């Protein structure tokens, strides 16, 4: 039986993908000449390469294993392609008073809101456009020219083409900076627009940095934030990278973070996920030298109709690596939480120790949680474990509160906060820990005290 080729499902999907990508390609074409570093030939070529990769792949489909639980069709059908307009009002955001602060509002670096203070020696914290305008932009090439080949990371490729703001942090050997607070704020009352921030962090051998990145949106506009962070951590260097995701209520947030660790390098990360109607936070870490350490933590709170997705991939490529993953979530109302945690242990990565724990709390009948641990272990002398639970609050714990006179609502609130705070309690940088605990408290409508005080 003859059927028109255009009616076959594959062809229809391809047509849809082309239609979805078209506005993004047009958006890029309109901006191309005005993007930062447009005069740099290597950057121009890299942008062209990445827009082609995005054009070929389109928005990731849930038929891709990496997007199995998270459907992007709502974004893909109507994704804004325009850059952000000037904000009509300055969105309110909190910041850490003692931090070196860099603020971007609607994709524009705001020197008037930033306060880098006195930077320690051998440390550069610099707005991306400025960095690319300088004479020594070449060190950024390995990052900004990275080709995002994986079809499941086509949105990172789009950022690779479109990135129009962001920053670079560079720590020379042995340099120390603590803490840095980067704020990407959006005034969404201006309507729908796309933000493609790019952050590059390099910690040379023996350096140490604590960095908090806030994504904050205010207003009802359906903007789209598509950040990419790339970090390289040298030998015996430590990068602590924390994230405060508090995008606007109807915003989309699709983040990709990739980290490469040298031998004895150390990467600690924790994310507090609160905002957005859909937020995907993908982190890929390569333990690219012996005895490297990676600790990932996240607390996600999904309410209303929010979907919050954390997708982590750790690659133990060398011996003696140590990694832990702790994911905690609460889904209430019709909230939906996704956790995908993959660990790959290469054949040479003997003596790897990799632990993963995922705990979801479901507080309503219509809330949902998906969890997918993925362990691929090719070495034979390793210690790898994973655990996952999905459940409601423990009735015995609730009764213990009640038996002491504490009402059921307060008991639930305290237990929810207790559940979510664990990954945040592990944050070593005290001002960042307190900042995120306070943000969690505001989200839950009560104070979350610093237990270590």
Minimum CB distance to another protein, residue 227 (Å): 30
Which lies closer to another protein via its Cβ, residue 384 or residue 414? 414
Residue nearer to another protein on the CB measure, 137 or 416: 416
In whole angstroms, how close is the CB of 399 to another protein at the nearest point? 6
Q: Cβ of residue 417: shortest distance to another protein, in angstroms?
A: 7
Alpha-carbon torsion angle 344, 350, 352, 356, nearest 10: 40
Q: Is 15 exposed, middle or buried (0-12, 13-18, 19+ CB in 10 A)?
A: exposed
Q: How many CB atoms lie within 10 A of CB 369?
A: 24
* For another protein, the closer CB: 129 or 415: 415
* CA pair distance 306, 316, nearest whole angstrom: 32
CB of 387 to another protein, least distance (A): 15
Nearer to another protein, 48 or 394 (CB): 394
Running DSSP on this structure, what letter comes out for residue 134?
A: S
Residue 134 or 407 with smaller CB distance to another protein:
407
* Three-state secondary-structure class, residue 432: helix
Give least dist CB 413 to another protein, A: 10
Residue number with CB closer to another protein (7 or 404): 404
Cβ atoms of 178 and 147 closer than 8 Å: no
For residue 270, the minimal CB distance to another protein (Å) is 15
| Residue 319: CB minimum distance to another protein, A | 34
In angstroms, give the least distance from the CB of 353 to another protein: 23
What sign results for the dihedral spanned by CA atoms 119, 125, 130, 132?
positive
**Tokens (6 digits) for 397:** 């714990």
Q: Would you tell me which residues interact with another protein (CB under 8 A)?
A: 395-397, 399-408, 410, 414-415, 417-419, 421-422, 425, 449, 451-453
For the chain, helix (H) and strand (E) counts, in that order, are 9, 21
Question: DSSP string covering 327-373, please?
Answer: EEEEE-TT-EEEEEEEEEE-TT-TT-EEEEEEEEEE-STT-EEEEEE
| CA gap 368, 27 in Å, rounded | 35
Kind of pairing, strands 336-345 and 368-377?
Answer: parallel
**Shorter beta-carbon distance to another protein: residue 48 or 449:** 449
Measured from the CB atom, the residue of 144 and 299 that comes closer to another protein is 299
CA nearest to 244, candidates 165, 328, 185:
185
Q: What is the DSSP string of 6-64?
A: GGSHHHHHHHHHHHHHHHHHHHHHHHGGGSTTTT-HHHHHHHHHHHHHHHHH-SPPTTS
Nearer Cβ to another protein, position 139 or 400?
A: 400
In the complex with another protein, the residue whose CB is nearer, 355 or 426, is: 426
Q: To the nearest whole angstrom, how small is the minimum distance from the Cβ of residue 422 to another protein?
A: 6
**Rounded to the nearest whole angstrom, what is the least distance from the CB of residue 446 to another protein in the complex?**
10
Contact 259, 231 (CB under 8 A): yes
Cβ atoms within 10 Å, residue 21: 22
Burial 159-168 (b: 16+ CB within 10 A, else e): bbbbbbbbbb
């Amino acid at each position: 039986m003859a059927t028109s080729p255009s009616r076959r499902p594959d062809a229809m999907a391809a047509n849809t993908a082309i239609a979805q990508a078209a506005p993004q390609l047009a958006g890029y074409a309109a901006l191309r000449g005005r993007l930062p570093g447009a005069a740099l030939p290597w950057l121009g070529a890299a942008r062209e390469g990445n827009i082609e990769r995005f054009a070929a792949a389109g928005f990731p489909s849930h038929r891709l294993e990496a997007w199995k639980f998270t459907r992007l069709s709502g974004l893909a059908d109507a994704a804004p392609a325009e850059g952000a307009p000037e904000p009509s009002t300055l969105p309110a955001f909190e910041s850490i008073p003692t931090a070196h602060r860099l603020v971007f509002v609607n994709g524009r670096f705001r020197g008037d809101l930033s306060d880098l203070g006195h930077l320690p020696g051998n440390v550069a914290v610099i707005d991306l456009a400025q960095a690319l305008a300088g004479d020594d932009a070449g060190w950024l090439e390995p990052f900004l020219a990275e080709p995002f080949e994986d079809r499941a990371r086509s949105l990172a490729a789009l950022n690779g083409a479109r990135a129009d703001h962001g920053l670079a942090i560079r720590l020379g050997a042995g340099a120390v900076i603590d803490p840095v607070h980067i704020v990407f704020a959006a005034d969404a009352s201006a309507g729908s627009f796309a933000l493609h921030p790019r952050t590059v962090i390099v910690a040379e051998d023996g350096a140490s940095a604590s960095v908090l990145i806030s994504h904050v949106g205010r207003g009802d506009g359906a903007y789209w934030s598509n950040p990419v962070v790339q970090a390289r951590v040298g030998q015996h260097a430590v990068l602590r990278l924390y994230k405060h995701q508090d995008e606007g209520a109807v915003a989309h947030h699709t983040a990709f973070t990739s980290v490469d660790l040298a031998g004895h390098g150390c990467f600690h990360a924790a994310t507090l996920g609160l905002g957005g109607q859909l937020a995907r936070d993908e982190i890929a870490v390569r333990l690219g030298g012996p005895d490297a350490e990676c600790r990932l933590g996240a607390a996600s709170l999904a309410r209303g109709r929010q979907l919050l997705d954390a997708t982590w991939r750790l690659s133990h490529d060398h011996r003696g690596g140590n990694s832990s993953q702790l994911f905690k979530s609460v889904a209430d109302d019709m909230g939906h939480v996704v956790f995908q945690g993959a660990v790959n242990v290469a054949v040479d990565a003997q003596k790897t120790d990799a632990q993963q724990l995922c705990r979801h709390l479901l507080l309503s009948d219509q809330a949902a949680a998906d969890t997918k641990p993925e362990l691929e272990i090719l070495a034979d002398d390793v210690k790898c474990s994973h655990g996952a639970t999905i459940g409601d609050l423990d009735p015995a714990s609730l009764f213990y509160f009640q038996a002491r006179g504490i009402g059921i609502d307060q008991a639930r609130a305290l237990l929810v906060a207790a559940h979510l705070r664990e990954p945040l309690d592990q944050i070593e940088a005290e001002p960042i820990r307190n900042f995120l605990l306070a943000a969690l408290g505001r989200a839950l409508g009560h104070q979350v005290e610093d237990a270590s005080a």
